[in-house]
Amino acid sequence: MNWFNKNEQPEEEVTLSKRAEMFQKEVDTMLSDVTRMTLPLQKRSFACCTNCFDLNPDNLDDITNCIKTCQEKPQEFGNTVQTELNKLQDVLLKCQQDCLNKYSSKPENNAEIERCAVKCYDTNKNMVKTIKSKLEQLIQGKAKKTRKFAQVKRRLSLKDTKLSIKKDVEHKEVDNKLTESKPVHSGMFFNYNENLVPPYQVIVDTNFVNSSIQNKLDLHKSMMDLLLSKCNSTQTLTLCSGIIHVTDCIIGELEKLGHRYRMALQLARDPRIVRLKCTHKGTYVDDCIVERVQMHKCYIVATNDRDLKRRIRKIPGVPIMYVKRHQYQIERIPFSITSK
């Protein structure tokens, strides 16, 4: 029974000789394409060789060295072509030898040997294309590869609506909680302190007393000049007393500091300076002054300590006096309600 149509016929098996001819044609076309691509390279080498004679025509060694350098690239390219073709030939010969060793035991296996050899040509047909692409890269030069960066996981931006919804929910939950406001002092009108009226009461710390001695400033005179107050010699103990105040912990701190601060201790024990009693334990001055100023809004704090200044600035209505440029200066003292 005929399994084929009248028009259709079974494909004929390709013989070894035909397959070898086809393979050789592919190799020849590849070599012709490569030689066509090498024409500009050869032209450059010829131009380089002609320029060698113009450099120094009297010296033959320089000319020969120049010609050798000009012919290096074409010779290198020719050597690579020859090595690639030799590799291809070795692969084909090895494959055919394996076929002979496999089927040469029996003489009736000639057809199998031929089929195996044809398969060798078919499997190694792609080597011609790889050789061609390799030689093209050598002529044209390797293209620069762009650096590949790792993919980063996508994150939500801070302005995303999903995050804003969560924040709104959190704000609503926080708003529902009851908050307790701190009681405001009766002498405060916003940030204006109504209790600050002359005669002013100034609490002086150890740092301020020591810096006054170093700058050769009289505590009473310099302070009255700053606060625009007057004091006669006959009224010294009556009118001028009560301006400067010192706490027990300030005296204790000066006593602990010892020999170097004996002048400051002697000045703090002046009878014109009012001494305030402390109810707390220890001799830490900063906490004592801050607590006293928060409870009684009638004091001006005189200090050169940065940390204490920073703490007192957070308390509204408390002026700060300090030593700067060999004189006393004051900040945040209001002369009227409308003053800024």
DSSP string, 35-68: HHHTHHHHHHHHHHHHHHHHH-TT-HHHHHHHHH
Mean pLDDT for 54-58 is 67
Confidence of residue 214 (pLDDT cuts 50, 70, 90): very high
Asked if the model's pLDDT at residue 290 lies above 80, the reply is yes
Supply the CATH number for residue 225's domain: 3.40.50.1010
Residue 3 lies in a domain: no
Q: Which of 39-43, 56-60, 104-108, 120-124 comes out lowest in average pLDDT? A: 104-108
Lowest mean pLDDT among 84-88, 169-173, 223-227, 305-309: 169-173
Q: What is the pLDDT of residue 337?
A: 42
What distances in angstroms separate CA 23 from CA 90, 114, 325, one per listed residue?
Answer: 15, 15, 100
Which of 325 and 196 is assigned the larger pLDDT? 325
Highest-scoring range by mean pLDDT, 36-40, 92-96, 193-197, 284-288: 284-288
Of the residues 138, 162, 182, the one at which a domain ends: 138
Residue % of the chain over a pLDDT of 70: 76
One domain, residues 220 and 329: yes
**What DSSP string describes 193-239?**
ETT--SSPEEEE-HHHHHHHHHTT--HHHHHHHHTT----STTTTTT
pLDDT at 55: 66
Instruction: Establish if 53 belongs to a structural domain.
Output: yes
Tens-place pLDDT, residues 152-204:
667 777 777 776 666 666 665 555 566 677 777 767 777 777 778 888 899 99
Q: Is residue 221 located within the same domain as residue 119?
A: no
101 lies in the same domain as 209: no
277-300: average pLDDT:
89
Among 100, 123, 138, the domain-final residue is 138
Residues 132 and 268 in one domain: no
Give pLDDT, residue 227.
Answer: 84
- Look at 23-37, 85-99, 129-143, 300-314 and tell me which has the smallest mean pLDDT: 129-143
Give the residue numbers spanning the domain of 103.
Answer: 14-138
**pLDDT confidence of residue 202:** 93
Query: Minimum mean pLDDT among 20-24, 106-110, 122-126, 201-205: which range?
Result: 106-110
* Stronger pLDDT, 215 or 196, i.e. the higher one: 215
Looking at the 3D structure of the chain, how many domains does it have? 2
Q: Look at residue 103 and tell me if it is in a domain.
A: yes
pLDDT band at 147 (very low <50, low <70, confident <90, very high): low
Per the model's pLDDT, the better-predicted residue between 210 and 141 turns out to be 210
Q: Which amino acid is at 311?
A: R
Q: Give yes or no: residues 23 and 124 share one domain.
A: yes
Is 150 within the bounds of a domain?
Answer: no
Regarding whether 242 and 110 lie in a shared domain, the answer is no
Is 32 part of any domain?
yes
Mean pLDDT for 225-240 is 59
288: confidence class by pLDDT, cuts 50, 70, 90: very high
Same domain, residue pair 328 and 196: yes
**In-domain check, residue 114:** yes
Instruction: Say yes or no: 312 and 247 in one domain.
Output: yes
Both 331 and 196 in one domain: the answer is yes
- Bigger pLDDT: 189 vs 240: 189
Query: What pTM was estimated for this model as a whole?
Result: 0.45
Q: Is residue 238 part of a domain?
A: yes
* Both tokens assigned to 240: 């001028």
Give 191 or 279, the one with higher predicted confidence: 279
Residues 197 and 75 in one domain: no
Under the banding of pLDDT at 50, 70 and 90, the label for residue 310 is very high
Domain annotation covers residue 125? yes
- At residue 252 the predicted structure's pLDDT band, cuts being 50, 70 and 90, is very high
Asked if 305 contacts 315 with a C-beta cutoff of 8 angstroms, the reply is no
pLDDT at 190: 72
Give me the mean pLDDT over the 270-284 stretch. 87
Task: Specify the pLDDT at position 206.
Answer: 92
Task: Please report, for residues 18, 28, 113, 231, 252, the alpha-carbon distance to residue 274 in angstroms, rounded to integers and kept in the order given.
Answer: 124, 116, 124, 17, 15
pLDDT, the chain, mean: 77
Considering the domain architecture, whether residues 212 and 326 belong to the same structural domain is answered as: yes
**Residue 309 CB neighbour total at 10 angstroms:** 14
Q: Are residues 80 and 197 in the same domain?
A: no
pLDDT, position 234: 46
